[in-house]
Amino acid sequence: MSLKQLCVLFVLACTSSIPGVTSAADLSVGGHIRMDGACSITLGNGGIFDFGNVSLTEIDQDSYSNSRDVPLTINCPSQTRIGVKAIDNRKESAAASRGFGVGNPAIGGYGIDPERNISEADGRKVYVIHRSGDYWYRTDDPTRWPSTTISWTANGLGPVAFRTMTTTLGVNVYLHDIRENMAHVDVLEIDGSATLELVYL
């Protein structure tokens, strides 16, 4: 039976506005709840992927895409096999084929890239794998969709045990129908939120 540890870790922050209109500032609240002696997970920049203020004059067409990344570190008191699962806190607003939701209206979504750069487990280079049933697979896009459990392997045979994991977590945002959704508002807010869950394997 797997033990699980919840960490509310990141939000997406961004506004798209009409030139000359003052944009709002976003605030996020986060923290950790964990058992004594359990592994911990930390995201750089407080877990905030801030895409800033985007003016309509900067958008050539009626869509927008961009990416941000922050460091991710997992620390365990002893050698431990760990998986990570992303839970979408805005799933009701996720647009079809866009992964995680970015709040209402459903103007798009975002994907999560857990291996933007090289991942290292206790100084060894490792690779992201994802679980499908009882099996683990290498993939180029393991957590585009919510609730996919990912881990890391050194030899492709299964998750590796480690004390310290360092990698870079990326977020890729995709928006569409921007002008239509801004027909009656001055500011369109991107408000994605997800929970990273540690899964003990």
**Across 86-100, 110-124, 152-166, 186-200, least confident range:** 86-100
pLDDT in tens, 2-23: 444 444 344 555 555 445 444 5
Cα gap 20→190, rounded to integer Å: 19
Q: Six-digit token pair at 95?
A: 């647009």
* pTM score: 0.76
Q: Is the dihedral of CA 100, 102, 108, 112 positive or negative?
A: negative
Percent of the chain with pLDDT strictly greater than 90: 22
Range of the domain at 53: 4-200
Q: Identify the pLDDT of residue 119.
A: 92
Cα gap 16→30, rounded to integer Å: 24
Overall domain count for the chain: 1
Residue 167 has pLDDT above 70, yes or no: yes
